[in-house]
Structure 1
Amino acid sequence: MTHPTRRALLAAALAAPAVSRAAFAQGTPAIDQLRLFVPSGAGGGWDGLARVIEKVLRETSAIGSAMVENVPGAGGSIGLPRFVAMRGRRNTLMVAGLSLVSSAIVNRSPVTASRDTIPLARLQGEAHVLVVPEASPIRTLADFVQAFRADPRGTSIAGGSAGGTDHMTLGFIAKALGIPTAQVSYVAFNSGGPAASAIIGNQVKAGIANYAEWAGHIESGRMRALGLTADARAPGVPVPTFREGGLDVVFYNWRGVFAPTGIPEAHVNELGAMIAAMAEGAPWKREAESRGWQLIYQPRREFAAFLEQEVREVEGVLKDLGLV
């Protein structure tokens, strides 16, 4: 789950077909119309990413136009089979992320993103943050680890819905510390707002969420941030990583793009080159910075390898949590 080096990114771009690089350089649209399939509802994180992809690709003349199609339901498990059925369709990309992996496991989906699509690129992600109330005697990650090990049942931790990324983060923390997940006290809420209220009101000992969701509470001092699940400190975020505190947990709520199977390899390469050029460009980085995204780009082969490992790790932690 590490950031690719600039050298690796440039190498991926240079490996793309020369005709595609020339098209980008000349400002000629590589694709007249791009179809972006989003297996979730409008307004969510995947949809937001799709809209930014459309904006940047149009702005940089990589495409002429784009159409976004939303198919919500079951964490992507309803839309994924429809995308898989688009086998052979050119100029089509699915925008999805981590929840597509976990929902397929929990729902025992007969199709999965890792097996039945072409993972094209991982683009961005959000690290999770572990926080405690302002009045908590826990001041550091080391303090939390000590308290959690001493009394895991008594260390109640708030977060989003059961089986979601907050819950999985706690599962990874428990696994890293050798604490049986049956002893973990997780308090699930249907959204970050009620969970934040429980933390600020000292109704729980700690909480986990995407950093951006609780950044305002952290900056105001109502919550104390102990650590981030990122592999490196995020720009402008004054919170150490778990690894800095001696806890080997790296976990992102990541998002990326997938191509349908059955399209020519040359066309897959052209789509990959287009996304690589977008990810390296200033307009993309500007949009990401304005939204607080952490850029964790991986090209096709790195992303595919990462996804295989991610499936194994997510399935393992969901089993530990008793959700599979």
Structure 2
Amino acid sequence: MRRTLVRLPRLFQFALIGAAVAAGPAFAVDTAKFMIGANPGGGWDQAGRTLGAAMVSAGVAKSASYDNRGGAGGTIGLTQFVNTDKGNPNALLVTGAVMVGAIETNKPPVTLKNATPVARLFTDTMVITVPASSPIKSIKDLTAQLKANPGSVSWGGGSKGSIDHILAGLIAKDIGVDPKRINYVPFQGGGEASASVLGGHVTAGIAGVSEFLPFIKSGKMRALAVTSKDRVADIPTLKEQGINVEIYNWRGVYGAPGITPEQRKALIDAVVKATESPSWKQALAKNDWTPFLLTGDEFGKFVDAESARLGAMLRELGVAK
């Protein structure tokens, strides 16, 4: 039997095609591929996996995968990301203040200039504490002792050249003490630092608020100041106590090198939509993360400014050349 081909009017054909497209899921990215320059379980890992889950729950990504490449302050993961994901519109690199400092310290051949700024996400505000038994009652007491005898104040925090180390240097410089004279005691993890503060083995401890807050609330530590613009957990800021220092341990994401402006916009839009999702907002509250959203070129300018500021202090500390 002979078949008759029926041609639909052109406008009706377009309408059908449009309806089919609208019916399907409109994902900004296919599989969001995260490069995390740290081992599983740490702050960067938590940030990357939380964002990936939020992108999926917000309907802007079909799925998410994660590759952990720890070492050298995240610069090992950065190098692999730049070298293997060029032009990949689905790839994201988790970064933060620690990586900016590590780049300034280690001078790797690959830097964040080789990737594409997408978004700054949140900050874990830092806090300075002393053990509850300490005779130091305020940040003024601490800085008075630092001025009188810099070596008598031992600061416990993360690794040498970390954001914690930089904070101690910035405080010293602001009150007229040579940053090279500070007595900084580096620890490999938050547990070590907490134990050292609680045991009175260091004069003061530096960490993210979320890390020390349980000890502050229980009365085992005394919080002297936070490093943010505004109070966190009703802890006074450095600035309101006369120390002109504001610094954040922020986290963010970069896209791959070589992606198009349209692909970059799609990534930015997807990440922003993810940060508006209930799962992301719940994670912020659970982890005491402060929203710190900044996107695209503005984020890139912020990182450039941070690189200059942190790099200058690392050189003053004698950690970077």
TM-score range, shorter chain: 0.7 to 0.9
Q: Percent identical across equivalent pairs?
A: 34
- Kindly state the Cα deviation for residue 97 of structure 1 after the two structures are TM-superposed: 1.4
Q: Which residue of 2 aligns with 1:13?
A: none
Q: Which residue of 2 aligns with 1:3?
A: none
- Kindly state the Cα deviation for residue 255 of structure 1 after the two structures are TM-superposed: 0.7
Q: Which residue of 1 aligns with 2:12?
A: none
- Residue 307 of structure 1 aligns with an amino acid whose one-letter code is V
Within the alignment, does 1:284 sit opposite 2:280 as a pair?
A: yes
Q: Which residue of 2 aligns with 1:243?
A: 239
Distance in structure 2 (CA, Å) of the matches to 1:170 and 1:263: 39
- Residue 290 of structure 1 aligns with an amino acid whose one-letter code is K
- Residue 217 of structure 1 aligns with an amino acid whose one-letter code is F
Q: Which residue of 2 aligns with 1:87?
A: 86
Distance in structure 2 (CA, Å) of the matches to 1:79 and 1:310: 20
Instruction: Give TM-score, length-normalised by structure 1.
Output: 0.87
Within the alignment, does 1:78 sit opposite 2:76 as a pair?
A: yes
Q: Which residue of 2 aligns with 1:312?
A: 308
Determine if contact 1:226/1:240 at 8 Å carries over to the other structure: yes
Q: Which residue of 2 aligns with 1:145?
A: 143
Q: Which residue of 2 aligns with 1:102?
A: 101
Q: Which residue of 1 aligns with 2:184?
A: 186
Determine if contact 1:157/1:206 at 8 Å carries over to the other structure: yes
- Residue 101 of structure 1 aligns with an amino acid whose one-letter code is V
Within the alignment, does 1:297 sit opposite 2:289 as a pair?
A: no
Pick from 62, 65, 72: which aligns with 2:63?
Answer: 65
SS of equivalent to 1:78: helix
Distance in structure 2 (CA, Å) of the matches to 1:188 and 1:241: 24
Determine if contact 2:124/2:250 at 8 Å carries over to the other structure: yes
Structure 1 stretch displaced more, 309-318 or 130-139:
130-139
Determine if contact 2:153/2:183 at 8 Å carries over to the other structure: yes
Distance in structure 2 (CA, Å) of the matches to 1:105 and 1:156: 24
List structure 1 segments (4+ residues) > 6 angstroms apart after TM superposition. none
- Residue 276 of structure 1 aligns with an amino acid whose one-letter code is V
Distance in structure 2 (CA, Å) of the matches to 1:182 and 1:263: 42
Q: Which residue of 1 aligns with 2:256?
A: 260
- Kindly state the Cα deviation for residue 35 of structure 1 after the two structures are TM-superposed: 1.2
Determine if contact 1:158/1:199 at 8 Å carries over to the other structure: yes
Q: Which residue of 2 aligns with 1:9?
A: none
- Residue 75 of structure 1 aligns with an amino acid whose one-letter code is G
SS of equivalent to 1:153: helix
Instruction: Give TM-score, length-normalised by structure 2.
Output: 0.87
- Residue 224 of structure 1 aligns with an amino acid whose one-letter code is R
SS of equivalent to 1:308: helix
Determine if contact 1:27/1:60 at 8 Å carries over to the other structure: no
Structure 1 spans left out of the alignment, 5+ residues: 1-22
Distance in structure 1 (CA, Å) of the matches to 2:25 and 2:216: 43
SS of equivalent to 1:233: coil
Distance in structure 2 (CA, Å) of the matches to 1:120 and 1:192: 29
- Kindly state the Cα deviation for residue 146 of structure 1 after the two structures are TM-superposed: 2.1
Determine if contact 2:82/2:257 at 8 Å carries over to the other structure: yes
SS of equivalent to 1:56: helix
Determine if contact 2:58/2:273 at 8 Å carries over to the other structure: no
- Kindly state the Cα deviation for residue 196 of structure 1 after the two structures are TM-superposed: 2.4
Within the alignment, does 1:121 sit opposite 2:119 as a pair?
A: yes
Pick from 151, 154, 159: which aligns with 2:152?
Answer: 154
Distance in structure 1 (CA, Å) of the matches to 2:187 and 2:65: 34
Q: 1:279 to 1:244 in 2, by over 3 A?
A: same
SS of equivalent to 1:110: coil
How many residues align? The count is: 298
- Kindly state the Cα deviation for residue 209 of structure 1 after the two structures are TM-superposed: 1.4
